[in-house]
Amino acid sequence: MSHDANCIFCKIIDGKIPSMKLLESDKSFAFVDIGPCSPGHSLIIPKYHAAKMHELPDDSLQDILPMAKKVAIATGASEYNILQNNGRLAHQVVDHVHFHVIPKPSQDKGLVVGWPSSNPPKEELQAVRTIISGKN
């Protein structure tokens, strides 16, 4: 299992830094975020250390979303966001994969998102599809 002795999340998993643990499995660990956007904001992290999601082995992802579901239900929030960032431009601060469960109790509490959508021509969308899927 990958591990980084200097990583704050690896230290939390190892019990070297205290956390408010919510759930734990063989492969994942959930705890309360200490800088929450709203009450109930929590993190789910794999025990395998990787900076970005695509660097994780598939089996390290297998119970993260079921754990996020349990946390979301336990918060009692009827509306919430599941957020996962990869890289600085994508707003990742800690270089260990982590999923946020963020209750959205009101318009001004919880995650605030801007969504700069566009309306590209169908040919441009088809070109993107070809690149991603490898299909013509």
List 41, 49, 98, 100, catalytic entry:
98
DSSP conformation class of 107: T
Tally Cβ neighbours within 10 Å of residue 111: 15
Residues listed for the chain = 136
Encoded tokens for 119: 């309306």
Tally Cβ neighbours within 10 Å of residue 81: 18
Tally Cβ neighbours within 10 Å of residue 5: 9
Q: Is 90 helix (H, G, I), strand (E, B) or coil?
A: helix
Say whether 3 is catalytic.
Answer: no
The residues annotated as belonging to the active site are 98
